[in-house]
C-alpha cells in the first residue's frame, strides 16, 4: 500500500518534494519580486550613473558582469561612444523610476567636445546591479530635427509631483494610455485614440513643439498648437510604423517611459491634412528616429510629454529586443553564374527598384536584403521611394566572389543620391542585396551625382593581376587607420573622390587630419575584381571616435573602388553612408 504524504507532513518530516516547473512568471528568476532597490535607490543609482558619465568613469558604477550598453541602438563596450567625448552633464535632468520593474530614466543635456547634445538614458537594476544601459544621444547635424537651448533646459515640473490618489490610474491603464499615444502618431490621419488634457504640452530635444515660438513658420506648432489639434490635422502622417516598448511606469507620479522607433517610410513626399492643406516631407528618403519618451498622465489624460530622439538608419533594430538575423552567405559557383550572369542580376535588381517591381527579380529561396547595414523586407524602403536610376551605371562583376556591384545615381522623389548595390548570387538566383546609399543631407564630402565613372578596358600591358590588386586593396584599407604614409603602390597623380567630390590626391591624405580621425577600419571585404578594366571594389567600416576633441562619434559604411594601371592605384572612388558609432554589418 502506498503512503501518501502531504506538503505539511513533508515539511514536518524534513522531506523535500519536487517543485512544478515554471512556477514563476516567464522571464522572471523568482516569483517573489526583487525589493532590494526601491524608488529612492533607483533614483540614486541613476544619479550615480550621470556622475560617472560626467567623470568618464563607468567603473565606479555597480555593474552586473553581463551588463549590456547601447548608444543609439548600437551595442558597444561600456566606456565607448559618448563616454569618451563627454565633458559636461546637465545638473537639471529629469529623473523617473519604476521600483516594480527596476527601471530608471534620465532626460536632459550633456556637453560633448564642448558642443551641446540632448541625452536620455534608461537603466535596469537587478539586485542592486545595473545590467542594462540604453542611451539616445541627439547631436546637432545637418538633418532637420528640433534642437533647443540645452543650457539649464527647463523640464516640466509635473513629472516630479506625486499625484493625489483620486487622479492616479493603475499601472495597466497608464500603459494603455501611453500606448494609445503611439497608436495616434502611427499613420496619423486625424483619428485620435489618446486622451489629452486641454493644456497638453510636448518638449522634444529641448523645444516646445506644441506652442508657437516667435518667428517660427515651418514647424508643426506653427500649423496647429496643442497635442490633440496637431493629431486631428494629421500632421504626422509620415509615421508608417511605431515600434515601441514601455519599460517604466511610476503610478504615484503618473509617469510612463517608452523606447522605440518612428519609421518614416516617406513613400510619398507630399500629403493633405484633414483641413485640405498640403504638407511636404522634410526628407525625401526612408529614415527612422530612435527615441526615449516620457508621458505624464493625470486623471487618465496625457498632460505632459518629453522626448529625446535622433535619426538612425531606416528600420534599425533595438538590440534589447533580440538579435537581428545575419545576412545569408553564398559560395560562388562560376559554372552556374559567371560574370555576365552576375551583371544581369545587378541590373535587374536596380531596374526593379523603379516602381517597386521587386517581383520581376529572380529571387532565391532564402534572401537577405539590407540598406545601410539594416535588414529589411524587399519591397519596402527605397523600393518605394526610387523613381529613377542611372541609365549608364558602373557594374563590376566577379564570378570568383559570386558578387556584382552596381554603382550610380538614383532619384528618390526627384532628389538625387548615390547608390552602391552589392548583389550576391545563390546559384541561378539572387541571394542577397546590400545597399549603401550616400545622400546629400548629411553634408560634405558630396557632389551632385551625374553618372558613375566610365572606365575603359585597359591594354594588356597596362593591366594588373588579380592577386596584386587584392593585396594592394587590402593594404590601402589597412593604411587608412594606421596614421602613417600612403601604402605602397599608389600613383603620384592618384585622385581620391568621396561621394563624387574630389577630396585630394591619394598620397597626401595619409597622415593628414582627415584620416587621423579614423580609429580603425574593420569588417573589410573584397567584393569584386575586374582585371580587364583594372577595377577592385571593397567594403569596410570606418570608426571615428571623435576623441581628438572635434565632432561626435560616428561610423561610415564604405564601398570603395580602386582603379589600377600598370600595378599602381591611379584613382579611388569611395561611397560612404554615415551610421551610429560602432554599428556592425548585418
Task: Give which of 62, 80, 55 is closest to 70, Cα–Cα.
Answer: 80
- Using one digit for the tens of pLDDT, what is the confidence trace for 214-244? 444 455 667 777 899 999 999 999 999 999 9
Task: Give which of 445, 435, 444 is closest to 412, Cα–Cα.
Answer: 435
For the CA atoms of 138, 141, 145, 149, the dihedral, rounded to the nearest 10 degrees, stands at: 70
Specify the residue for cell string 535596469.
124
Task: Give which of 298, 94, 308, 274 is closest to 198, Cα–Cα.
Answer: 298
The count of domains in the chain is 2
Q: Which three cell numbers mark 297?
A: 498622465
Same domain? 292 vs 366: no
Neighbouring CB atoms inside 10 A of 239's CB total 19
For the CA atoms of 500, 504, 507, 513, the dihedral, rounded to the nearest 10 degrees, stands at: -110
Task: Give which of 83, 73, 45, 254 is closest to 161, Cα–Cα.
Answer: 254
Same domain? 406 vs 465: yes
% of the chain residues with pLDDT over 70: 94
For residue 4, is it within any domain? Answer: no
Task: Give which of 425, 360, 317 is closest to 75, Cα–Cα.
Answer: 317
Task: Give which of 439, 422, 563, 414 is closest to 499, Cα–Cα.
Answer: 439
For residue 2, is it within any domain? Answer: no
For residue 214, is it within any domain? Answer: yes
pLDDT score at 36: 81
Same domain? 353 vs 292: no
5-33 mean pLDDT: 57
- Using one digit for the tens of pLDDT, what is the confidence trace for 154-187? 899 999 999 999 999 999 999 999 999 999 999 9
For residue 138, is it within any domain? Answer: yes
Q: Which three cell numbers mark 195?
A: 486622451
For residue 22, is it within any domain? Answer: no
For the CA atoms of 122, 124, 129, 134, the dihedral, rounded to the nearest 10 degrees, stands at: -40
Those residues whose C-beta lies under 8 Å from the C-beta of residue 148, and which sit 6 or more positions away, are 118, 205, 206, 207
Same domain? 305 vs 392: no
Same domain? 296 vs 361: no
Same domain? 418 vs 289: no
Instruction: Tell whether the model's pLDDT for residue 28 goes beyond 90.
Output: no
% of the chain residues with pLDDT over 90: 86
For the CA atoms of 320, 194, 256, 266, the dihedral, rounded to the nearest 10 degrees, stands at: 30
- Write out the DSSP string of 201-251: EEEETTEETTSPPTT--SSHHHH--SHHHHHHHTTTTTEEEEEEEEEEEET
Q: Which three cell numbers mark 513?
A: 587630419
Dihedral pair phi/psi, residue 190, rounded to 5° = 105, -20
How many whole angstroms separate alpha carbon 219 and alpha carbon 216? 7
Same domain? 348 vs 482: yes
Same domain? 99 vs 236: yes
How many whole angstroms separate alpha carbon 559 and alpha carbon 574? 6
How many whole angstroms separate alpha carbon 395 and alpha carbon 397? 6
Would residue 548 be called left, alpha or beta, if left means φ above 0 and alpha means ψ between -120 and 50 degrees?
alpha
Same domain? 109 vs 236: yes
Contact (Cβ atoms closer than 8 angstroms) between residue 376 and residue 412: no
- Using one digit for the tens of pLDDT, what is the confidence trace for 111-123? 999 999 999 999 9
- Among 292, 321, 350, which residue terminates a domain? 321
- Among 270, 293, 321, which residue terminates a domain? 321
Q: Is 575 exposed, middle or buried (0-12, 13-18, 19+ CB in 10 A)?
A: buried
Question: Domain range spanning residue 418?
Answer: 339-580
Same domain? 315 vs 280: yes
How many whole angstroms separate alpha carbon 586 and alpha carbon 584? 6
Neighbouring CB atoms inside 10 A of 68's CB total 16
Instruction: Tell whether the model's pLDDT for residue 391 goes beyond 80.
Output: yes
Same domain? 350 vs 281: no
For residue 174, is it within any domain? Answer: yes
- Among 293, 321, 349, which residue terminates a domain? 321
- Using one digit for the tens of pLDDT, what is the confidence trace for 322-350? 988 899 999 999 999 999 999 999 999 99
CATH for 391:
3.10.450.50
For residue 31, is it within any domain? Answer: no
Same domain? 350 vs 292: no
For residue 395, is it within any domain? Answer: yes
Amino acid at each position: 500500500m502506498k503512503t501518501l504524504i502531504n506538503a505539511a507532513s513533508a515539511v514536518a518530516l524534513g522531506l523535500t518534494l519536487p517543485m512544478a516547473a515554471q512556477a514563476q512568471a516567464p522571464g522572471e528568476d523568482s516569483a517573489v519580486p526583487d525589493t532590494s532597490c526601491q524608488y529612492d535607490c533607483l533614483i540614486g543609482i541613476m544619479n550615480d550613473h550621470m556622475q560617472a558619465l560626467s567623470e568618464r568613469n563607468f567603473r565606479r558604477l555597480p555593474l552586473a558582469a553581463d551588463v549590456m550598453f547601447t548608444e543609439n541602438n548600437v551595442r558597444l563596450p561600456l566606456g565607448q561612444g559618448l563616454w569618451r567625448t563627454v565633458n559636461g552633464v546637465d545638473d537639471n535632468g529629469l529623473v523617473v523610476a519604476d521600483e516594480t520593474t527596476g527601471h530608471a530614466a534620465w532626460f536632459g543635456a550633456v556637453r560633448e567636445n564642448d558642443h551641446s547634445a540632448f541625452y536620455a538614458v534608461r537603466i535596469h537594476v537587478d539586485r542592486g546591479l545595473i545590467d542594462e544601459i540604453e542611451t539616445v544621444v541627439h547631436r546637432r547635424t545637418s538633418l532637420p530635427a528640433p534642437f533647443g537651448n540645452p543650457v539649464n533646459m527647463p523640464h516640466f515640473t509635473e513629472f516630479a509631483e506625486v499625484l493625489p490618489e483620486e487622479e492616479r490610474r493603475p499601472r495597466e491603464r497608464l500603459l494603455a494610455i501611453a500606448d494609445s499615444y503611439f497608436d495616434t502618431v502611427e499613420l496619423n490621419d486625424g483619428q485620435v485614440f489618446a486622451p489629452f488634457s486641454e493644456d497638453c504640452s510636448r518638449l522634444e530635444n529641448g523645444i516646445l513643439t506644441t506652442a508657437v515660438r516667435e518667428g517660427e513658420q515651418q514647424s508643426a506648432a506653427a500649423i496647429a498648437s496643442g497635442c490633440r489639434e496637431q493629431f486631428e490635422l494629421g500632421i504626422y502622417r509620415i509615421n508608417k510604423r511605431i515600434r515601441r516598448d514601455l519599460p517604466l511606469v511610476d503610478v504615484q507620479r503618473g509617469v510612463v517611459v517608452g523606447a522605440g522607433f518612428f519609421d518614416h517610410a516617406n513613400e510619398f513626399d507630399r500629403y493633405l491634412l484633414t483641413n485640405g492643406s498640403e504638407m511636404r516631407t522634410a526628407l525625401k528618403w526612408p529614415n527612422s528616429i530612435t527615441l526615449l519618451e516620457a508621458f505624464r498622465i493625470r486623471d487618465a489624460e496625457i498632460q505632459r510629454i518629453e522626448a529625446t530622439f535622433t535619426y538612425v538608419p531606416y528600420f534599425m533594430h533595438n538590440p534589447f529586443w533580440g538579435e537581428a538575423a545575419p545576412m545569408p552567405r553564398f559560395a560562388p559557383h562560376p559554372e552556374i553564374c559567371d560574370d555576365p550572369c552576375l551583371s544581369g542580376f545587378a541590373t535587374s535588381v536596380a531596374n526593379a527598384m523603379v516602381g517597386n517591381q521587386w517581383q520581376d527579380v529572380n529571387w532565391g529561396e532564402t534572401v537577405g536584403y539590407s540598406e545601410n547595414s539594416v535588414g529589411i523586407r524587399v519591397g519596402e524602403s527605397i523600393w518605394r521611394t526610387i523613381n529613377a536610376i542611372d541609365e549608364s551605371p558602373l557594374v563590376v562583376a566577379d564570378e570568383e566572389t559570386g558578387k556584382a556591384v552596381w554603382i550610380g545615381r538614383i532619384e528618390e522623389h526627384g532628389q538625387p543620391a548615390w547608390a552602391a548595390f552589392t548583389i550576391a548570387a545563390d546559384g541561378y538566383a539572387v541571394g542577397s542585396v546590400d545597399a549603401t546609399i550616400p545622400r546629400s543631407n548629411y553634408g560634405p564630402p558630396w557632389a551632385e551625382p551625374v553618372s558613375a565613372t566610365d572606365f575603359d578596358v585597359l591594354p594588356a600591358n597596362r593591366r594588373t593581376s588579380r592577386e596584386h590588386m587584392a593585396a594592394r586593396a587590402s593594404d590601402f584599407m589597412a593604411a587608412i587607420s594606421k596614421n602613417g604614409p600612403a601604402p605602397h603602390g599608389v600613383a603620384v597623380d592618384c585622385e581620391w573622390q568621396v561621394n563624387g567630390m574630389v577630396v585630394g590626391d591619394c598620397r597626401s591624405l595619409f597622415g593628414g587630419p582627415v584620416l587621423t580621425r579614423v580609429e580603425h577600419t574593420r569588417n573589410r571585404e573584397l567584393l569584386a575584381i575586374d582585371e580587364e578594366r583594372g577595377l577592385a571594389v571593397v567594403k569596410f567600416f570606418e570608426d571615428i571616435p571623435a576623441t581628438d576633441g572635434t565632432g561626435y562619434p560616428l561610423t561610415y559604411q564604405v564601398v570603395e573602388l580602386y582603379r589600377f594601371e600598370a600595378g599602381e592605384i591611379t584613382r579611388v572612388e569611395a561611397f560612404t553612408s554615415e551610421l551610429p558609432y560602432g554599428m556592425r554589418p548585418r
